[in-house]
Amino acid sequence: MLQKADTNFGFAIAASLGIFFIGGILTTVAPPLIDKTWAKPFSNDDPSKGPTGQLKPYTEQELKGRAIYVREGCTYCHTQQTRTILADTKRSGWRGVDSPVSTPDEFVYDAPHLFGTKRTGPDLSRVGGKYDQQWHRTHFRNPRDLVPGSVMPPFPWIAANEEEFQAMVAYLQTLGRAKNWRPDNDYEK
Amino acid sequence: MADANAQDRATEIQNVTGSAPVVHEDITVKWFLLSSVAYFFIVGIVAVVIAAKFVWPELLSTVSYFTYGRMRPLHVNGMLFGWLLACDMALIFYVVPRLCGVKLWSEKLGVATGILWNIIILSAVVCLLMGWTSGLEYAELPLPLDVLVVVAWIMFGANIFMTIATRKYQQMYVSIWYIMGTILWTAFVYLTGNFATLFATGVNQANLNWMYVHNAVGLIFTPAGLALAYYFIPRSSNLPLHSHKLSMIGFWSLAFVYVWTGAHHMLHGPISQWLQTIAIAFSVMLIIPVWAVVFNLFATIKGHWHEMGENVPLKFLMSGVVFYLLTCFQGPMHSLRAVNAIVSKTDWIPGHAHMAVLGAFSFFAIAGTYYILPRIFRTELHSQPLAQWSYWFFMSGGLGFFVTLWLGGFWQGWQWNNPAIPFIDTVIALGPVWLVRFFSGILMFAGIICFAYNVMATALGEKKALAA
């Protein structure tokens, strides 16, 4: 076979595409057909099965906020996934309560997905409800006023534009909220 | 293969067929080469600016167009598509006609491709700074530009395939398979990353995105880079390739193994565990094609390493092979769950990614550029010492960059895994690492200046007659 691919133009093309498509199809088309949780929105009302709650589609305002998140490239420094690593559940936790790990069914309405690859700033998968609007406004104006040592750029044009700012905060407050994971329900607005 | 590599192909044809040697026009090569080098310089400035932003976060921070989140995708896309892929295409336009013993199928089509490519890159600069992005990593370009990329790729592919189809030698040298592989796989990898993702959401979309991201490196830049290494190493050293059979094993195992590994970007993340395990298994198997290639290239140069001293292309090529080996050893290793839990999402990752794209594949492209410059412009290289300087700037800056980020990233990962350390303290701890990275970036940029000036001076300056 190797010899033939060496001299025969058509055979070389067919073989390199054929071999490529085996792995290509098995790893892209097959998995969502096998694992149904990739497409089914999270929903659980039985506390014995873990956190309860329901994933709701984004509102128009939240989608506007999400578009700003994409436009400003927030995802290049902030991941949105609490991984199956103990430290991640502690860091995403809040006030002594560990966060549940992220599951595929929490992201069904996300396009583009914002899982991220680099964590220059903290993970945001459970940030929803942790900080109130005033905190976010100050933080967008200049992150270092609230977090000395931060390297996040300031976003004065978001803080100054009321419509954009409201949309942005509305989106951030949804993050991680599908799972109702805080026992005291102490979410900030 | 020994003769084929040692001799000039054109004279060989004359011996075999008795016809006159082919005269290559190389107009397309010049278009792609000079524009790619210009983008290398321009995007190099962006690179230094974003490295500086880690140290001085207020830098240019009141102008929305120059904020980090917009300049980073410009840096990534600009370097990948404006510089590296365009330079690879220039070198492919140079290599293929020579390995086939014929002229390029159509210079007109080639020049049109070059113009279209420049339109795409310049539009991309505007779009990304405006924040018009699809939001998917490596696939940030908005949809209309994605369509133009596909058109340009078809024009490029048609030209190369028609050249290969009309070749004078029946046997195809290794570089030709890699080039054909690059063109075919890129088409499907690009369609997956930029079009299939439109019809998916959440984890499903992320899976398609990572398939694209990983194979953009693995099935676009790797085969293109290796095609060049397989051509330019025997060429610039005048040594025959060690083993034809080994090169086949490397190629076919690469074709099979690479595409399975996308999900290793989501290890421990919200994606099915069994898919993570498959990705890990295939990531480890990548050692097979890598070692087959690296052994072959090392064995080719065996006993002649000292020639790297004077020979600038060979210097870049063999350093690139070493970096290729290192980066491809890191890859499988940090696909292992235990290692991944430390290094994933840290600054280790840009260290690793830069060693692949700068250390290995850009080094191959730079070597190819130095090798073909005197041949396509029919003059001597403007300055040999400047070429040597460019090597040492890239090498010292590159090593400074890689090593600092690995150490810093590992340290950062350990800190993250101790939840008693507040997150902001892990950011502050990285301050010195980012400062060293910035200065390493300055060194690399000095390398770009020496390289780009040398290229432009050779291309546009006074022509000197080639010695014999």
List, for residues A87-96, the tens digit of each pLDDT value.
Answer: 999 999 998 8
The CATH number of A58-172 is 1.10.760.10
**How many Å apart are CA B323 and CA A28, to the nearest integer?**
30
Residue type, B19: S
Interface of B with A in 435-464 (CB under 8 A): none
The per-residue pLDDT for B92 is 97
Percent of chain B with pLDDT over 90: 90
Instruction: Give the C-alpha separation, B446 to B401, whole Å.
Output: 14
- Number of domains observed in the structure of chain B: 1
B328 contact partners, CB below 8 Å, separation of at least 6: B286, B287, B290, B356
Identify the helix (H) or strand (E) that includes residue A44.
strand A43-44
- pLDDT tens digits, residue range A48-63? 988 999 999 999 999 9
> At B347, which helix (H) or strand (E)?
none
Contact A36, A105 (CB under 8 A): no
> What percentage of chain B exceeds 70 in pLDDT?
95
Give the pLDDT confidence score for residue B213 in this predicted structure: 93
Residue B248 falls inside a structural domain: yes
Model confidence pLDDT, tens digit, residues B282-333? 999 999 999 999 999 999 999 999 999 999 999 999 999 999 999 999 999 9
Does residue B10 fall inside a structural domain? no
Say if the Cβ atoms of B211 and A7 lie within 8 Å. Answer: no
- What distance in Å separates the CA atoms of residue B317 and residue A27, rounded to the nearest whole number? 34
The shortest C-alpha distance from B277 to chain A (Å) reads 12
Domain hosting B239: range is 24-460
Mutate to test the interface with A, among B164, B204, B430 (most CBs of A within 10 A): B204
The predicted model gives A106-111 an average pLDDT of 96
CATH number, domain containing residue B29: 1.20.210.10
pLDDT of residue B465: 65
Contacts of residue A96, defined as CB under 8 A and 6 or more positions apart, other chains included, come to none
Coil, strand or helix: which one is A63? helix
Among A75, A76, A78, which would you mutate to test the B interface (most chain B Cβ atoms within 10 Å of its Cβ)?
A76
- What amino acid occupies position A98? D
Q: What is the pLDDT of residue B227?
A: 96
Q: Does residue B6 fall inside a structural domain?
A: no
Chain B residues with CB-CB distance to A146 below 8 A: none
pLDDT confidence band for B1 (50 / 70 / 90): very low
Calculate how close chain B gets to A189, using CA atoms only, in Å: 23
pLDDT per residue as tens digits for the range B53-69: 999 999 998 899 999 99
Domain ranges of chain A: 2-34, 58-172
Determine, yes or no, domain membership for B341: yes
Q: Is the pLDDT of residue B79 over 90?
A: yes
Q: Token digits for B190?
A: 């690009």
Average pLDDT on B189-210 reads: 95
Distance of CA A120 to the CA centre of its chain: 15
- The rounded distance, in Å, linking the Cα atoms of B364 and B359 is 9
Confidence (pLDDT) at B20: 62
Q: How confident is the model at residue B220 (pLDDT cuts 50, 70, 90)?
A: very high
Peptide bond just before B21 cis, omega within 30 deg: no
Residues of A in contact with B269 (CB under 8 A): 81, 83-84, 102, 115
pLDDT, one tens digit per residue, over B69-78 is 999 999 999 9
Predicted local confidence at residue B46, as pLDDT = 97
Q: What is the structure's pLDDT at B171?
A: 84
* Per-residue pLDDT, A11: 87
Percent of chain A residues topping a pLDDT of 90:
83
Question: What are the tens digits of pLDDT across the range B266-277?
Answer: 999 999 999 999
What ipTM did this prediction achieve?
0.95
Residues of chain B contacting A81 with CB distance shorter than 8 Å: 266, 269-270
Q: What is the mean pLDDT of residues B173-197?
A: 94
pLDDT at residue B19 in the model: 56
Model confidence at A106: pLDDT above 50: yes
Nearest CA in chain A to B128: A71
